Amino acid sequence: MNKIIQYASTTKHLIFIERLNCSKSLFQLQRLGLALLFLVVSLPNLSAQSATQKSGNPIVDGWYADPEGVILDGKFWVFPTYSAKYREQVFMDAFSSTDMVNWEKHPSVIDTSIIKWAHMAMWAPSIIKKEDQYFLFFSANDIQSKARNGVKNDTLGGIGVAVANRPEGPYKDHLGKPLINQFYNNAQPIDQYVFQDKDLQYYIIYGGWGKCNIGKLNEDFTGLTPFPNGDLVRDVTPKGYVEGPTMFIRNGKYYLMWSEGGWTNGTYKVAYGVSDSVFGPFERQAAILEADESIATGAGHNSVINIPNTDEWYMVYHRRPIPNEDRDHRVTCIDRLYFNEDGSIKSVKMTFEGVRVK
C-alpha cells in the first residue's frame, strides 16, 4: 500500500516537473519569438539609420587644412596639410574611407626623414595614380623669391614628388630634389594640383602669391615638358586668384577653382571660373564658398570628389571653427556641391552634419 502511494506521489512530481519543463520551453520559445519579431521590425529602421548616417564636420579629429579628396581603387582618400607652425609641418597624414563617413587614419605617410631636402612647411599634398604606382606631390620649405630682412633666401625647396606602390605608402623621394624649385611668372611654387586631361596628358597646376601656372608633366613625372615656345609653364591666373587651385571636367567644360582672401583670417573663400580649354582663360564666375558666422569662417583651399558614372559631387575643404584665436586651427570638412542647369555652380552650404554614407 505504501509502495502504491509512493509511486503515485512520485508520478505526480514527475508530471509536475515535466509540465514545468514544458512551461520553461514555451517561455523560452516565446522570448525567442519576441526577439526575432523585434529584430525583423528593427532591421528596416537600422537600415534606414545606416542610410541616413552622416560624416559630421569636421570629418576627422585634429588640425588639418588644404585637403586633397580623391577616389583611389574604389576607396575615398583625403590627404591634408598638418595645420601647425611651419617648423612643425614635417609630416603628412592621410585618411581613407569606404563610405565617406568612417575614416581610418594613416599617420605620417610622408615626412622629412624620407624627403631629405625638406625641412619644414610641407603643404598641400596632391596624389594621382599612374599605372600601378601612386605619385604624391607636395611643397616644402616655403621658399621666397626675395630677401627677407636683408638676408638672401637661398633655401632649396619648392614642389616635390614621392612615389609608392600603395596610397598609404611607404613612399620614397621620386627625384631626390624639387620638381619645381623657383618662381616662374612670380608664382611661388606651392599648392600644386595634378590633373589628367581628356587626352591623357598630365598637368600640374600650382602657385601662390596671387599667381597660377600650368605645366605639362613628362612621362615619368621627373620634369616638365616645354611648350612649343620653350616655356616650362603658362600663366593662367584668373582675376581674384590668391592660391590653392584645383581643376575638373564636367560636360566637356574645364572648371578651375581657387582660394581668395587671406588664409589666416575669415576672408578666405573659394571662387571658380570655366573654360573650353585646360589653358583657359578662366573668367571669374562667382565665390561659392564663404564664411558663415553661424558655422565657421576661413573656408577655402578645396578639392572636389565626383562619384564615378554619376553627377554627384562633393567639396572637400578646410575651415575655421568659431571662436578661433589661432591661425593654425583649421579643420577638414566635406559638403555637397551642386550645379545649376546652365552648368554654373551653386553656393556651397557649410554644415555641421556633413555628408551621408555612400
What CATH number is given to the structural domain containing 65? 2.115.10.20
Please indicate, yes or no, if residue 354 is contained in any of the structural domains: no
Q: Residues 1, 144: one domain?
A: no
DSSP notation for 81-146:
EE-S-GGG--EEEEEEESSSSS-EEEEEEEETTTSTT--S--EEEEEEEETTEEEEEEEES---SS
Q: Residues 47, 196: one domain?
A: no
User: Are 110 and 136 spatial neighbours (Cβ–Cβ below 8 Å)?
Assistant: yes
578662366: which residue's cell?
Answer: 282
C-alpha–C-alpha distance, residues 183 and 214, integer Å: 13
* Structural domain containing residue 38: 1-52
Q: What pLDDT is attached to residue 131?
A: 95
End-to-end CA distance of the chain: give it in Å, rounded.
80
Q: Residues 32, 148: one domain?
A: no
Span 318-341, pLDDT tens digits: 999 999 889 999 999 999 999 999
Please indicate, yes or no, if residue 146 is contained in any of the structural domains: yes
pLDDT band at 1 (very low <50, low <70, confident <90, very high): very low
Q: How many domains does the chain have?
A: 2
Mean pLDDT across 63-77: 99
Span 276-290, pLDDT tens digits: 999 999 999 999 999
CA angle 75, 80, 85 (to 5 degrees): 160
Please indicate, yes or no, if residue 196 is contained in any of the structural domains: yes
Please indicate, yes or no, if residue 220 is contained in any of the structural domains: yes
User: Are 258 and 239 spatial neighbours (Cβ–Cβ below 8 Å)?
Assistant: no
Backbone angles phi, psi at 44, to 5 degrees: -60, -35
In this predicted structure, the answer to whether residue 108 has a pLDDT above a threshold of 50 is yes
In this predicted structure, the answer to whether residue 258 has a pLDDT above a threshold of 50 is yes
Q: Residues 41, 64: one domain?
A: no
Please indicate, yes or no, if residue 99 is contained in any of the structural domains: yes
DSSP letter assigned to residue 252? T
Please indicate, yes or no, if residue 349 is contained in any of the structural domains: no
C-alpha–C-alpha distance, residues 329 and 341, integer Å: 37
Rounded percentage of the chain residues whose pLDDT exceeds 90: 81
User: Are 89 and 81 spatial neighbours (Cβ–Cβ below 8 Å)?
Assistant: yes
Q: Residues 158, 126: one domain?
A: yes
Would you name the residues annotated as active-site residues?
66, 243
Amino acid at 69: G
Please indicate, yes or no, if residue 347 is contained in any of the structural domains: no
Sorted by sequence, the CB contacts under 8 Å of residue 99 that are 6+ apart come out as: 76, 357, 358
Q: Residues 31, 83: one domain?
A: no
Span 182-198, pLDDT tens digits: 999 999 999 999 999 99
Q: Residues 95, 24: one domain?
A: no
CA angle 121, 216, 223 (to 5 degrees): 60
Q: What pLDDT is attached to residue 40?
A: 41
Q: Residues 186, 319: one domain?
A: yes
Q: What pLDDT is attached to residue 150?
A: 53
Q: Residues 77, 131: one domain?
A: yes
Q: Residues 18, 117: one domain?
A: no
Beta bridge partners of 81: 65
Q: Residues 45, 69: one domain?
A: no
Q: Considering only residues 31 and 51, tell me which one the structure prediction assigns the higher pLDDT.
A: 51
Please indicate, yes or no, if residue 351 is contained in any of the structural domains: no
Structural domain ending residue among the three candidates 10, 26, 52: 52
Q: Considering only residues 269 and 145, tell me which one the structure prediction assigns the higher pLDDT.
A: 269
Q: Residues 224, 281: one domain?
A: yes
239 SS3 class:
coil
